Amino acid sequence: MVEHGKALRQSTTAIPGLTIWDLPVHGDNRGWFKENWQREKMVAAGLPDFGPVQNNVSFNEAAGTTRGVHAEPWDKLISVAAGRVFGAWVDLRAGPTFGTVVTAELDAAKAVFVPRGVGNAFQTLEPGTAYTYLVNDHYSPTATYTSVNPADSTLDIAWPIPLEQAELSAKDRANPGLAEVHPIPPRKILVLGADGQLGRALRVVYGGLGHVEFADRTQLDLTAPELGAALRWRDYDTVINAAAFTAVDAAETGPGRLAAWSTNVAAVAALARIAVEHQLTLVQVSSDYVFDGTADRPYREDDPFSPLGVYGQTKAAADQIVTTVPRHYIVRTAWVIGDGPNFVRTMLSLAERGVNPAVVNDQFGRLTSAGELAAAIEHLIRTRAAFGTYHVTCSGDITTWADIARQVFALAGHDPGRVTGVSSEQYFASIAGPVAPRPRNSALDLAKIQSCGYRPTDTAKMLTSYVSSAKASSGKAGSR
Protein backbone atom coordinates (compact mmCIF):
# COMPACT_ATOMS: atom_id res chain seq x y z
CA MET A 1 0.00 0.00 0.00
CA VAL A 2 1.30 3.46 -0.88
CA GLU A 3 2.26 5.49 2.16
CA HIS A 4 0.44 8.81 2.30
CA GLY A 5 1.53 12.13 3.76
CA LYS A 6 5.33 11.89 3.50
CA ALA A 7 7.20 15.17 3.15
CA LEU A 8 9.16 15.90 -0.02
CA ARG A 9 12.72 14.82 0.73
CA GLN A 10 15.78 13.63 -1.15
CA SER A 11 18.29 10.99 -0.05
CA THR A 12 21.77 10.80 -1.51
CA THR A 13 23.34 7.49 -2.53
CA ALA A 14 26.75 5.95 -3.07
CA ILE A 15 26.56 7.02 -6.72
CA PRO A 16 27.27 10.78 -7.06
CA GLY A 17 24.25 12.61 -8.43
CA LEU A 18 21.87 9.66 -8.05
CA THR A 19 19.19 10.68 -5.54
CA ILE A 20 16.08 8.93 -4.26
CA TRP A 21 13.05 11.04 -3.41
CA ASP A 22 10.14 10.67 -1.04
CA LEU A 23 7.10 12.16 -2.76
CA PRO A 24 4.03 13.47 -0.92
CA VAL A 25 1.03 11.32 -1.87
CA HIS A 26 -2.47 12.43 -0.90
CA GLY A 27 -5.17 9.76 -0.75
CA ASP A 28 -8.77 9.06 0.29
CA ASN A 29 -11.47 6.52 -0.50
CA ARG A 30 -11.25 7.43 -4.20
CA GLY A 31 -7.51 6.68 -4.59
CA TRP A 32 -4.46 8.92 -4.47
CA PHE A 33 -2.90 12.02 -6.04
CA LYS A 34 0.70 13.23 -6.18
CA GLU A 35 2.75 15.94 -7.84
CA ASN A 36 5.01 13.73 -9.93
CA TRP A 37 7.18 16.67 -11.02
CA GLN A 38 7.03 20.08 -9.39
CA ARG A 39 9.96 22.16 -10.54
CA GLU A 40 9.84 24.94 -7.96
CA LYS A 41 9.53 22.69 -4.91
CA MET A 42 11.90 19.99 -6.11
CA VAL A 43 14.66 22.36 -7.23
CA ALA A 44 14.38 24.16 -3.89
CA ALA A 45 14.77 20.76 -2.18
CA GLY A 46 17.97 20.01 -4.09
CA LEU A 47 17.03 18.42 -7.41
CA PRO A 48 19.12 19.72 -10.34
CA ASP A 49 17.12 21.98 -12.61
CA PHE A 50 17.67 19.49 -15.41
CA GLY A 51 15.17 20.88 -17.93
CA PRO A 52 13.03 17.90 -19.00
CA VAL A 53 11.69 17.99 -22.57
CA GLN A 54 9.97 14.60 -22.92
CA ASN A 55 7.69 12.49 -20.71
CA ASN A 56 7.63 8.70 -21.28
CA VAL A 57 5.54 5.91 -19.77
CA SER A 58 6.57 2.24 -19.54
CA PHE A 59 3.74 -0.27 -18.94
CA ASN A 60 4.66 -3.82 -17.89
CA GLU A 61 1.97 -6.50 -17.89
CA ALA A 62 3.74 -9.23 -15.92
CA ALA A 63 5.60 -9.21 -12.63
CA GLY A 64 9.28 -9.94 -13.18
CA THR A 65 9.60 -7.85 -16.34
CA THR A 66 13.19 -6.64 -16.25
CA ARG A 67 14.75 -3.87 -18.32
CA GLY A 68 18.35 -2.64 -18.41
CA VAL A 69 21.06 -1.95 -17.38
CA HIS A 70 21.20 1.06 -19.81
CA ALA A 71 23.06 4.35 -19.44
CA GLU A 72 21.24 6.68 -21.84
CA PRO A 73 22.78 10.03 -22.82
CA TRP A 74 20.35 12.15 -20.79
CA ASP A 75 19.26 12.81 -17.21
CA LYS A 76 15.93 11.41 -16.06
CA LEU A 77 13.48 11.54 -13.17
CA ILE A 78 11.63 8.25 -12.74
CA SER A 79 8.47 7.66 -10.73
CA VAL A 80 5.99 4.81 -10.40
CA ALA A 81 2.43 5.42 -11.56
CA ALA A 82 1.03 1.99 -10.63
CA GLY A 83 2.46 -1.05 -8.89
CA ARG A 84 5.97 -1.51 -7.51
CA VAL A 85 9.40 -1.88 -9.07
CA PHE A 86 12.84 -2.91 -7.91
CA GLY A 87 15.40 -0.51 -9.29
CA ALA A 88 19.13 -1.09 -9.78
CA TRP A 89 21.60 1.60 -10.84
CA VAL A 90 25.23 1.17 -11.85
CA ASP A 91 27.69 4.02 -12.22
CA LEU A 92 29.23 3.56 -15.67
CA ARG A 93 30.98 6.94 -15.74
CA ALA A 94 34.77 7.17 -15.71
CA GLY A 95 36.01 7.84 -12.20
CA PRO A 96 36.47 6.31 -8.76
CA THR A 97 32.83 5.21 -8.42
CA PHE A 98 32.75 3.27 -11.71
CA GLY A 99 30.89 0.01 -11.10
CA THR A 100 29.17 1.17 -7.89
CA VAL A 101 25.70 -0.37 -7.52
CA VAL A 102 22.68 1.12 -5.73
CA THR A 103 19.32 -0.66 -5.41
CA ALA A 104 15.95 0.40 -4.01
CA GLU A 105 12.28 -0.49 -4.19
CA LEU A 106 10.04 2.19 -5.66
CA ASP A 107 6.31 2.70 -5.38
CA ALA A 108 4.14 5.72 -6.07
CA ALA A 109 5.58 7.56 -3.05
CA LYS A 110 9.17 7.39 -4.29
CA ALA A 111 11.08 8.71 -7.28
CA VAL A 112 14.69 8.55 -8.41
CA PHE A 113 16.83 11.06 -10.28
CA VAL A 114 19.34 9.32 -12.55
CA PRO A 115 22.14 11.46 -14.03
CA ARG A 116 23.42 10.66 -17.51
CA GLY A 117 26.10 8.00 -17.52
CA VAL A 118 24.50 6.00 -14.70
CA GLY A 119 23.09 2.66 -15.84
CA ASN A 120 19.40 2.23 -15.11
CA ALA A 121 17.49 -1.05 -14.63
CA PHE A 122 14.04 -2.03 -13.29
CA GLN A 123 12.23 -5.20 -12.39
CA THR A 124 8.46 -5.08 -11.87
CA LEU A 125 7.20 -6.63 -8.64
CA GLU A 126 3.48 -6.57 -9.45
CA PRO A 127 1.50 -7.18 -12.65
CA GLY A 128 0.18 -4.11 -14.41
CA THR A 129 3.06 -1.93 -13.26
CA ALA A 130 3.68 1.41 -14.97
CA TYR A 131 6.39 3.95 -14.38
CA THR A 132 7.04 7.34 -15.92
CA TYR A 133 10.25 9.12 -16.69
CA LEU A 134 11.04 12.68 -17.59
CA VAL A 135 14.15 13.13 -19.75
CA ASN A 136 16.05 16.25 -20.79
CA ASP A 137 16.74 15.23 -24.37
CA HIS A 138 14.43 14.00 -27.10
CA TYR A 139 14.51 10.28 -27.79
CA SER A 140 16.26 9.32 -30.98
CA PRO A 141 16.19 5.82 -32.46
CA THR A 142 19.76 6.35 -33.62
CA ALA A 143 21.05 7.22 -30.14
CA THR A 144 23.75 4.92 -28.80
CA TYR A 145 24.35 4.23 -25.14
CA THR A 146 26.36 1.99 -22.88
CA SER A 147 24.76 -1.14 -21.43
CA VAL A 148 25.87 -3.86 -19.03
CA ASN A 149 24.45 -7.31 -18.43
CA PRO A 150 22.03 -7.32 -15.46
CA ALA A 151 23.20 -10.83 -14.53
CA ASP A 152 26.88 -9.84 -14.34
CA SER A 153 28.40 -11.46 -11.25
CA THR A 154 30.62 -8.44 -10.59
CA LEU A 155 27.54 -6.29 -10.06
CA ASP A 156 25.95 -8.97 -7.83
CA ILE A 157 22.50 -7.40 -8.04
CA ALA A 158 20.05 -9.23 -5.76
CA TRP A 159 17.07 -9.33 -8.13
CA PRO A 160 13.90 -10.20 -6.17
CA ILE A 161 12.74 -12.42 -9.03
CA PRO A 162 15.67 -14.51 -10.34
CA LEU A 163 16.59 -13.48 -13.88
CA GLU A 164 16.14 -17.00 -15.21
CA GLN A 165 12.45 -16.65 -14.25
CA ALA A 166 12.13 -13.04 -15.39
CA GLU A 167 11.03 -11.47 -18.67
CA LEU A 168 14.06 -9.92 -20.41
CA SER A 169 14.76 -8.98 -23.98
CA ALA A 170 17.30 -11.08 -25.86
CA LYS A 171 19.40 -7.95 -26.27
CA ASP A 172 19.58 -7.32 -22.51
CA ARG A 173 20.56 -10.94 -21.84
CA ALA A 174 23.38 -10.61 -24.38
CA ASN A 175 24.84 -7.35 -23.08
CA PRO A 176 28.50 -7.45 -21.97
CA GLY A 177 29.73 -7.76 -18.42
CA LEU A 178 31.18 -4.82 -16.50
CA ALA A 179 34.75 -5.89 -17.28
CA GLU A 180 34.07 -5.37 -20.99
CA VAL A 181 32.45 -1.93 -20.62
CA HIS A 182 34.43 1.18 -21.43
CA PRO A 183 33.77 3.85 -18.79
CA ILE A 184 31.70 6.74 -20.11
CA PRO A 185 33.79 9.93 -20.27
CA PRO A 186 32.36 13.19 -18.94
CA ARG A 187 30.42 15.41 -21.31
CA LYS A 188 32.83 17.64 -23.11
CA ILE A 189 34.15 21.09 -22.24
CA LEU A 190 34.78 23.42 -25.17
CA VAL A 191 37.29 26.28 -24.82
CA LEU A 192 36.83 29.06 -27.38
CA GLY A 193 39.58 31.57 -28.09
CA ALA A 194 42.18 28.90 -27.49
CA ASP A 195 44.99 30.94 -29.08
CA GLY A 196 44.73 33.90 -26.67
CA GLN A 197 46.45 34.46 -23.33
CA LEU A 198 43.58 32.92 -21.35
CA GLY A 199 43.09 30.16 -23.92
CA ARG A 200 46.72 29.12 -23.59
CA ALA A 201 46.43 29.17 -19.79
CA LEU A 202 43.33 26.98 -19.99
CA ARG A 203 45.32 24.53 -22.13
CA VAL A 204 47.71 24.19 -19.20
CA VAL A 205 44.91 23.73 -16.65
CA TYR A 206 43.04 21.17 -18.76
CA GLY A 207 46.02 19.69 -20.59
CA GLY A 208 45.77 15.98 -21.31
CA LEU A 209 42.07 15.63 -20.50
CA GLY A 210 40.36 13.90 -23.38
CA HIS A 211 36.96 15.47 -22.75
CA VAL A 212 38.24 19.05 -23.14
CA GLU A 213 38.40 20.52 -26.66
CA PHE A 214 40.02 23.77 -27.78
CA ALA A 215 39.07 25.90 -30.76
CA ASP A 216 40.42 29.13 -32.20
CA ARG A 217 38.67 31.31 -34.77
CA THR A 218 40.05 29.33 -37.72
CA GLN A 219 38.42 26.21 -36.31
CA LEU A 220 35.13 27.70 -35.12
CA ASP A 221 33.98 31.14 -36.22
CA LEU A 222 31.61 32.47 -33.56
CA THR A 223 30.27 35.11 -35.92
CA ALA A 224 29.24 32.57 -38.58
CA PRO A 225 25.45 32.32 -39.10
CA GLU A 226 25.60 28.51 -39.04
CA LEU A 227 27.19 28.35 -35.54
CA GLY A 228 24.22 26.42 -34.14
CA ALA A 229 24.85 23.57 -36.59
CA ALA A 230 28.66 23.69 -36.44
CA LEU A 231 28.94 21.10 -33.65
CA ARG A 232 26.84 18.40 -32.03
CA TRP A 233 26.22 20.68 -29.04
CA ARG A 234 24.30 18.06 -27.03
CA ASP A 235 27.64 16.26 -26.52
CA TYR A 236 28.97 19.22 -24.49
CA ASP A 237 28.39 20.24 -20.91
CA THR A 238 30.31 23.52 -20.70
CA VAL A 239 31.49 26.20 -23.11
CA ILE A 240 34.21 28.59 -21.90
CA ASN A 241 34.21 31.70 -24.05
CA ALA A 242 37.75 33.08 -23.91
CA ALA A 243 37.34 34.71 -27.32
CA ALA A 244 36.91 38.48 -27.48
CA PHE A 245 37.80 41.63 -29.37
CA THR A 246 40.09 43.30 -26.82
CA ALA A 247 41.71 46.12 -28.81
CA VAL A 248 40.10 48.83 -26.71
CA ASP A 249 41.50 51.78 -28.70
CA ALA A 250 40.71 50.23 -32.08
CA ALA A 251 37.14 49.72 -30.87
CA GLU A 252 36.71 53.51 -30.99
CA THR A 253 37.12 53.46 -34.80
CA GLY A 254 34.38 52.63 -37.29
CA PRO A 255 35.73 49.21 -38.33
CA GLY A 256 36.79 48.44 -34.77
CA ARG A 257 33.36 49.27 -33.39
CA LEU A 258 31.78 46.87 -35.87
CA ALA A 259 34.25 44.11 -35.04
CA ALA A 260 33.85 44.62 -31.29
CA TRP A 261 30.05 44.39 -31.40
CA SER A 262 30.18 41.41 -33.75
CA THR A 263 32.60 39.37 -31.61
CA ASN A 264 31.74 40.58 -28.12
CA VAL A 265 27.96 40.81 -28.42
CA ALA A 266 26.42 39.13 -31.48
CA ALA A 267 28.59 36.02 -31.10
CA VAL A 268 27.86 35.85 -27.37
CA ALA A 269 24.12 36.10 -28.09
CA ALA A 270 24.45 33.14 -30.46
CA LEU A 271 26.32 31.15 -27.81
CA ALA A 272 23.66 32.04 -25.24
CA ARG A 273 20.91 30.70 -27.50
CA ILE A 274 22.86 27.47 -28.00
CA ALA A 275 23.48 27.15 -24.25
CA VAL A 276 19.79 27.56 -23.46
CA GLU A 277 18.68 25.11 -26.16
CA HIS A 278 21.12 22.40 -25.11
CA GLN A 279 21.25 23.12 -21.34
CA LEU A 280 24.94 23.97 -21.40
CA THR A 281 26.92 25.89 -18.83
CA LEU A 282 28.26 29.06 -20.46
CA VAL A 283 31.36 30.70 -18.97
CA GLN A 284 31.79 34.28 -20.16
CA VAL A 285 34.88 36.37 -19.39
CA SER A 286 34.02 39.96 -18.54
CA SER A 287 36.01 43.12 -17.87
CA ASP A 288 36.48 45.97 -15.41
CA TYR A 289 35.67 48.22 -18.38
CA VAL A 290 31.95 47.72 -17.69
CA PHE A 291 32.45 50.22 -14.84
CA ASP A 292 33.37 53.91 -15.14
CA GLY A 293 36.01 53.72 -12.39
CA THR A 294 34.57 56.50 -10.22
CA ALA A 295 33.84 54.33 -7.16
CA ASP A 296 35.95 54.91 -4.07
CA ARG A 297 36.16 51.18 -3.27
CA PRO A 298 36.71 47.92 -5.18
CA TYR A 299 33.78 47.10 -7.45
CA ARG A 300 31.37 44.35 -6.42
CA GLU A 301 29.62 41.96 -8.76
CA ASP A 302 26.24 43.68 -8.37
CA ASP A 303 27.45 47.25 -8.94
CA PRO A 304 25.63 48.98 -11.82
CA PHE A 305 27.33 49.25 -15.20
CA SER A 306 28.52 52.58 -16.58
CA PRO A 307 31.01 51.84 -19.38
CA LEU A 308 33.06 54.73 -20.75
CA GLY A 309 33.92 53.43 -24.22
CA VAL A 310 32.86 51.05 -26.95
CA TYR A 311 34.77 48.03 -25.63
CA GLY A 312 33.21 48.44 -22.19
CA GLN A 313 29.78 48.84 -23.76
CA THR A 314 30.13 45.57 -25.66
CA LYS A 315 31.28 43.69 -22.56
CA ALA A 316 28.40 45.12 -20.51
CA ALA A 317 25.93 44.11 -23.22
CA ALA A 318 27.36 40.59 -23.32
CA ASP A 319 27.09 40.27 -19.54
CA GLN A 320 23.41 41.17 -19.68
CA ILE A 321 22.83 38.58 -22.42
CA VAL A 322 24.63 35.81 -20.54
CA THR A 323 22.52 36.35 -17.42
CA THR A 324 19.57 34.96 -19.42
CA VAL A 325 21.31 31.55 -19.57
CA PRO A 326 20.18 29.45 -16.59
CA ARG A 327 23.60 27.83 -16.18
CA HIS A 328 26.17 30.59 -16.46
CA TYR A 329 29.33 31.97 -14.91
CA ILE A 330 30.39 35.51 -15.70
CA VAL A 331 34.02 35.82 -14.62
CA ARG A 332 34.98 39.49 -14.53
CA THR A 333 38.66 40.36 -14.42
CA ALA A 334 41.16 43.17 -15.00
CA TRP A 335 44.76 43.83 -16.02
CA VAL A 336 45.47 40.35 -17.39
CA ILE A 337 48.99 39.20 -18.20
CA GLY A 338 49.89 35.82 -19.65
CA ASP A 339 51.67 34.05 -22.46
CA GLY A 340 51.83 36.79 -25.07
CA PRO A 341 52.40 40.53 -25.44
CA ASN A 342 51.34 42.44 -22.33
CA PHE A 343 52.31 45.33 -20.07
CA VAL A 344 54.82 43.43 -17.93
CA ARG A 345 56.68 42.02 -20.92
CA THR A 346 56.78 45.50 -22.43
CA MET A 347 58.32 46.91 -19.25
CA LEU A 348 60.88 44.09 -19.18
CA SER A 349 61.85 44.88 -22.75
CA LEU A 350 62.18 48.59 -22.04
CA ALA A 351 64.29 47.91 -18.96
CA GLU A 352 66.67 45.66 -20.88
CA ARG A 353 66.96 48.14 -23.77
CA GLY A 354 67.79 51.06 -21.49
CA VAL A 355 64.54 52.93 -22.14
CA ASN A 356 63.17 55.02 -19.26
CA PRO A 357 59.38 54.89 -19.59
CA ALA A 358 56.66 57.31 -18.52
CA VAL A 359 53.82 55.23 -17.06
CA VAL A 360 50.32 56.17 -15.92
CA ASN A 361 50.06 56.71 -12.16
CA ASP A 362 46.37 57.58 -11.72
CA GLN A 363 44.72 54.27 -12.69
CA PHE A 364 44.35 51.80 -9.83
CA GLY A 365 43.85 48.05 -9.76
CA ARG A 366 45.44 44.62 -9.37
CA LEU A 367 47.16 42.45 -11.94
CA THR A 368 45.67 39.10 -12.92
CA SER A 369 47.76 36.31 -14.36
CA ALA A 370 46.01 34.35 -17.10
CA GLY A 371 46.89 31.23 -15.12
CA GLU A 372 45.05 32.64 -12.09
CA LEU A 373 41.99 33.34 -14.18
CA ALA A 374 42.07 29.86 -15.74
CA ALA A 375 42.43 28.21 -12.33
CA ALA A 376 39.46 30.17 -10.96
CA ILE A 377 37.29 29.13 -13.91
CA GLU A 378 38.27 25.49 -13.45
CA HIS A 379 37.43 25.78 -9.73
CA LEU A 380 33.96 27.18 -10.39
CA ILE A 381 33.16 24.44 -12.91
CA ARG A 382 34.63 21.57 -10.89
CA THR A 383 33.06 22.52 -7.56
CA ARG A 384 29.72 23.39 -9.20
CA ALA A 385 29.67 26.74 -7.46
CA ALA A 386 26.42 28.68 -7.55
CA PHE A 387 25.84 30.14 -11.00
CA GLY A 388 26.29 33.88 -11.36
CA THR A 389 28.98 36.55 -11.62
CA TYR A 390 32.39 36.35 -9.90
CA HIS A 391 35.23 38.84 -9.77
CA VAL A 392 38.69 37.34 -10.23
CA THR A 393 42.06 39.10 -10.02
CA CYS A 394 45.14 38.42 -7.99
CA SER A 395 44.85 39.53 -4.37
CA GLY A 396 46.95 41.93 -2.29
CA ASP A 397 47.63 45.62 -2.55
CA ILE A 398 45.89 47.88 -5.06
CA THR A 399 48.52 49.69 -7.12
CA THR A 400 48.97 51.84 -10.22
CA TRP A 401 50.52 50.93 -13.56
CA ALA A 402 53.55 53.04 -12.60
CA ASP A 403 53.92 51.07 -9.34
CA ILE A 404 53.85 47.81 -11.28
CA ALA A 405 56.40 49.09 -13.78
CA ARG A 406 58.78 49.98 -10.93
CA GLN A 407 58.31 46.53 -9.40
CA VAL A 408 59.09 44.91 -12.74
CA PHE A 409 62.27 47.00 -13.14
CA ALA A 410 63.40 46.09 -9.62
CA LEU A 411 62.64 42.37 -10.05
CA ALA A 412 64.61 42.38 -13.31
CA GLY A 413 67.62 43.97 -11.57
CA HIS A 414 67.15 47.51 -12.88
CA ASP A 415 66.72 50.85 -11.14
CA PRO A 416 62.99 51.42 -10.50
CA GLY A 417 63.73 55.14 -10.40
CA ARG A 418 63.98 55.02 -14.19
CA VAL A 419 60.16 54.86 -14.31
CA THR A 420 58.39 58.24 -14.31
CA GLY A 421 54.78 58.46 -13.21
CA VAL A 422 52.46 60.63 -15.34
CA SER A 423 48.74 61.34 -15.49
CA SER A 424 46.48 59.59 -18.00
CA GLU A 425 45.97 62.91 -19.78
CA GLN A 426 49.71 63.45 -20.13
CA TYR A 427 50.33 59.92 -21.33
CA PHE A 428 47.59 59.74 -23.96
CA ALA A 429 48.16 63.29 -25.24
CA SER A 430 51.19 62.06 -27.15
CA ILE A 431 49.41 59.13 -28.81
CA ALA A 432 48.08 59.57 -32.33
CA GLY A 433 44.71 58.12 -33.24
CA PRO A 434 41.66 57.29 -31.14
CA VAL A 435 42.14 56.49 -27.45
CA ALA A 436 39.51 54.67 -25.41
CA PRO A 437 38.71 56.14 -22.00
CA ARG A 438 39.99 53.98 -19.15
CA PRO A 439 38.36 53.52 -15.74
CA ARG A 440 40.47 55.19 -13.04
CA ASN A 441 39.51 52.51 -10.51
CA SER A 442 39.75 48.94 -11.85
CA ALA A 443 39.99 47.24 -8.46
CA LEU A 444 37.53 44.36 -8.07
CA ASP A 445 36.13 43.00 -4.80
CA LEU A 446 37.17 39.36 -4.33
CA ALA A 447 34.92 38.38 -1.42
CA LYS A 448 32.51 36.31 -3.52
CA ILE A 449 35.11 34.14 -5.26
CA GLN A 450 36.82 33.63 -1.90
CA SER A 451 33.52 32.60 -0.31
CA CYS A 452 33.27 29.59 -2.64
CA GLY A 453 36.68 28.27 -1.63
CA TYR A 454 39.03 29.88 -4.13
CA ARG A 455 41.95 31.92 -2.79
CA PRO A 456 43.58 34.16 -5.43
CA THR A 457 47.37 34.41 -5.40
CA ASP A 458 48.96 37.55 -3.96
CA THR A 459 49.88 39.98 -6.74
CA ALA A 460 53.44 40.54 -5.55
CA LYS A 461 54.11 36.79 -5.37
CA MET A 462 52.61 36.25 -8.81
CA LEU A 463 54.60 39.11 -10.35
CA THR A 464 57.87 37.83 -8.90
CA SER A 465 57.26 34.40 -10.41
CA TYR A 466 56.09 35.85 -13.73
CA VAL A 467 59.13 38.11 -14.18
CA SER A 468 61.49 35.28 -13.27
CA SER A 469 59.83 32.99 -15.82
CA ALA A 470 59.74 35.68 -18.51
CA LYS A 471 63.43 36.47 -18.05
CA ALA A 472 64.31 32.78 -18.21
CA SER A 473 62.33 32.25 -21.41
CA SER A 474 63.83 35.42 -22.92
CA GLY A 475 67.29 34.15 -22.13
CA LYS A 476 66.60 30.82 -23.79
CA ALA A 477 65.24 32.53 -26.88
CA GLY A 478 68.28 34.77 -27.10
CA SER A 479 70.70 31.84 -26.88
CA ARG A 480 69.30 30.08 -29.94
Domain boundary among 180, 211, 241: 180
Buried b (16+ CB within 10 A) or exposed e, 107-134: bbbbbbbbbbbbbbbbbbbeeebebbbb
Domain for residue 117, yes or no?
yes
Is beta strand 281-287 parallel, antiparallel or unpaired with respect to 236-241?
parallel
Q: Which amino acid is at 145?
A: Y
Same domain, 205 and 92: no
Buried b (16+ CB within 10 A) or exposed e, 421-432: bbebeebeeeee
> ∠ CA(191), CA(197), CA(198), 5° rounding?
40
Q: Which residues contact 396 (CB under 8 A, 6 or more apart)?
A: 366, 458, 459, 460, 461
Distance, in Å, from the CA atom of 107 to the CA atom of 358, rounded to the nearest integer, reads 75
Same domain, 137 and 218: no
**CATH code: domain of residue 146:** 2.60.120.10
Q: pLDDT digit of tens for each residue in the chain (480 aa)?
A: 677 778 899 999 999 999 999 999 998 888 889 999 999 999 999 999 888 999 999 999 999 999 989 998 899 999 999 999 999 999 999 999 999 999 999 999 999 999 999 999 999 999 999 999 999 888 877 777 899 999 999 999 999 999 999 999 999 999 999 999 999 988 899 999 999 999 999 999 998 888 999 999 899 989 888 898 899 898 899 999 999 999 999 999 999 999 999 999 999 999 999 999 988 999 999 999 999 999 999 999 999 999 999 999 999 999 999 999 999 999 999 999 999 889 999 999 999 999 999 999 999 999 999 999 999 999 999 999 999 999 999 999 999 999 999 999 999 999 999 999 999 999 998 888 899 999 999 999 999 999 999 999 999 999 999 999 888 776 554 443
Q: What single-letter DSSP state applies at residue 161?
A: S
Same domain, 243 and 341: yes
* DSSP class per residue in 93-119: BSSTTTT-EEEEEE-TTEEEEE-TTEE
Domain for residue 1, yes or no?
no
Q: What is the pTM (predicted TM-score) of this model?
A: 0.84
Domain for residue 54, yes or no?
yes
**pLDDT computed for residue 4 by the predictor:** 76
Containing domain of residue 77, as a range?
9-180
Catalytically annotated residues: 70, 133
Same domain, 243 and 390: yes
Rg (CA), the chain: 28
Domain for residue 316, yes or no?
yes
pLDDT digits 0-9 by tens, 451-472: 999 999 999 999 999 999 888 7
28: left (phi over 0), alpha (psi -120 to 50) or beta: beta
Distance, in Å, from the CA atom of 326 to the CA atom of 40, rounded to the nearest integer, reads 14
**pLDDT computed for residue 432 by the predictor:** 81
Same domain, 53 and 197: no
**pLDDT computed for residue 474 by the predictor:** 66
CA 241 to each of CA 202, 306, 328, 372, 412: distance values in angstroms, whole numbers, following the listed order: 11, 23, 11, 16, 34
Q: Which amino acid is at 293?
A: G
Give me the residues paired with residue 330 across strands.
284, 389
Same domain, 373 and 319: yes
Distance, in Å, from the CA atom of 255 to the CA atom of 257, rounded to the nearest integer, reads 5
Same domain, 131 and 221: no
H-state helical runs in 267-385: 267-278, 310-322, 343-352, 370-383
Tally of CA atoms within 13 A in the half-sphere of 287 that contains its CB: 28
Domain for residue 297, yes or no?
yes
Among positive and negative, which fits the CA dihedral 81, 87, 93, 95? positive
**pLDDT computed for residue 480 by the predictor:** 39
Is beta strand 146-147 parallel, antiparallel or unpaired with respect to 25-28?
unpaired
- Domains: count for the chain: 2
Domain for residue 3, yes or no?
no
**pLDDT computed for residue 292 by the predictor:** 97
Phi, psi (deg, nearest 5) at residue 280: -90, 155
Same domain, 390 and 470: yes
**CATH code: domain of residue 327:** 3.40.50.720
